[in-house]
């Protein structure tokens, strides 16, 4: 099939390259001339494991091309995917649909013959109706079926998620689109991926409902972690104990500094606004958003407490900046609020991240950046582990201790154990886990 992808950001690029790898003829479109020029040279604008090689192989095979010219690519396409951004709108938190609607107008002016226009962007319920209206108004002769086909990609595992999905959701109002979208995803039949057809509005709601539920699950275990700290429980054992219940499941039950990234923060906020507009408020999601926002800042206070209540003039080393491992995405990352909280209290912050350094430089002008974990630790009064990159999971703790001014380790991802950290001379703090009596080590003892 001939497929056009409008928007060559994270979702559009991953979607395009994976569909090309299935054997479809795909053209990725973007107005950013520099981005398209870079892609044509094999330079990938985002970090996603395996993406660079997949782009190169499909470009070489002639199945994947890039262009800034929408009008030249759309007429021959059987399916046009809209995969542009829908960021939170400044001022009210609603999803900004201006990019989606602008694409709809351009596509309407260029389509030829029966075409399926599939919205990949995360959009509020009813957006598909408006896209269909825009296309019909712009070009009354356009023979178009507008469908909703939300993405469910995890950054850092997007290619595997696309090729081995839990489900594929397609919302249709025109039955002709069913056969077309079935053919698009036919290569996944071997994986027995459920292809779920619904009406368009249901598909739009599924995406928001899924992200909101996962965000609530993360927030729930974070609150349980706080209770564990107060009551002497162990959140990891609680998470395992409830996660073994098949009705609950073990995923997204890892306590930490709060969720971030490009999806959960904006999608939960957008769902709150959607629900309010329909007069059906979602109190659980509203509370989830509030708790998560407060938690990120609270983590800086946790670091300050571990440093004896005062970080003014002290050097705090930070390991990990991106909102999760295996991505360079800094959007809504917990590190932003945590670091700002430390800076506000007079700390000097030195940070390192395997992939997030460049985007972080643009938003953290008061932070110094190091070339590695051990350089971060040099002369530090405390070390804070924020993002659980693999290279931080087996650090030489003796080497860290020797280079630090004060061996204090605040582990916001529970990568290490109290016993292990204490054995190497660290005063150790984690999330939702008690200090076992024979593991307790005071800050005074650690500094000696």
The whole-angstrom separation of Cα 155 and Cα 234 is: 29
Describe the strand order of the beta sheet including 315-319 as a list of residue ranges. 368-369, 348-352, 315-319, 382-385, 408-411, 427-429
Decide if 55 contacts 39 (C-beta within 8 A).
yes
Q: Catalytic pick from 28, 228, 263, 307?
A: 263
The whole-angstrom separation of Cα 365 and Cα 368 is: 8
Our answer to whether residue 263 is catalytic in this structure is yes
The whole-angstrom separation of Cα 234 and Cα 222 is: 12
Q: Catalytic positions, please?
A: 263
């Amino acid at each position: 099939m001939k497929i056009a992808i409008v928007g060559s950001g994270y979702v559009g690029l991953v979607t395009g390259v994976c569909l090309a790898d299935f054997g479809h003829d795909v053209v990725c479109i973007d107005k950013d001339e520099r981005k398209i020029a870079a892609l044509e040279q094999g330079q990938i604008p985002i970090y996603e494991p395996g993406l660079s090689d997949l782009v190169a192989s499909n470009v070489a095979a002639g199945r994947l091309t890039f262009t800034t010219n929408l009008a030249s690519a759309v007429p021959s396409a059987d399916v046009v995917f809209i995969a542009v951004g829908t960021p939170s709108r400044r001022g009210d938190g609603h999803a900004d649909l201006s990019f989606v609607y602008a694409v709809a107008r351009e596509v309407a002016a260029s389509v030829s013959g029966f075409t399926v226009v599939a919205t990949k962007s995360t959009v509020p319920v009813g957006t598909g109706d408006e896209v269909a209206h825009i296309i019909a108004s712009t070009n009354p002769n356009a023979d178009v079926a507008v469908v909703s086909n939300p993405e469910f990609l995890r950054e850092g595992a997007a290619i595997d998620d696309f090729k081995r999905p839990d489900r594929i959701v397609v919302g249709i109002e025109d039955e002709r689109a069913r056969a077309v979208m079935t053919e698009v995803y036919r290569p996944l039949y071997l994986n027995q991926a459920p292809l779920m057809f619904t009406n368009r509005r249901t598909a739009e709601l599924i995406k928001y409902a899924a992200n909101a539920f996962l965000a609530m699950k993360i927030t729930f275990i974070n609150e349980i972690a706080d209770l564990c700290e107060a009551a002497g429980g162990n959140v990891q054992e609680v998470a395992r104990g409830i996660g073994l219940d098949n009705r609950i499941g073990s995923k997204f039950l890892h306590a930490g500094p709060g969720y971030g990234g490009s999806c959960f923060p904006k999608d939960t906020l957008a769902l709150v606004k959607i629900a309010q507009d329909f007069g059906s408020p979602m109190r659980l999601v509203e509370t989830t958003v509030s708790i998560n926002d407060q938690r990120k800042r609270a983590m800086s206070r946790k670091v300050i407490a571990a440093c004896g209540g005062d970080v003014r003039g002290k050097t705090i080393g930070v390991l990990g900046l991106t909102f999760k491992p295996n991505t360079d995405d800094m959007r809504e990352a917990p590190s932003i609020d945590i670091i700002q909280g430390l800076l506000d209290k007079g700390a000097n912050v030195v940070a390192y991240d395997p992939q997030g350094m460049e985007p972080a430089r643009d938003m953290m002008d008061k932070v110094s950046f190091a070339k590695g974990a051990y350089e971060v630790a040099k002369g530090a009064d405390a070390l804070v582990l924020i993002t659980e990159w693999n290279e931080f999971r087996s650090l030489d703790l003796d080497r860290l201790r020797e280079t630090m001014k004060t061996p204090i380790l605040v582990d916001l991802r529970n990568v290490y154990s109290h016993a292990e950290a204490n054995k190497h001379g660290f005063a150790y703090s984690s999330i939702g886990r008690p200090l076992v009596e024979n593991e307790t080590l005071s800050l005074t003892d650690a500094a000696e």
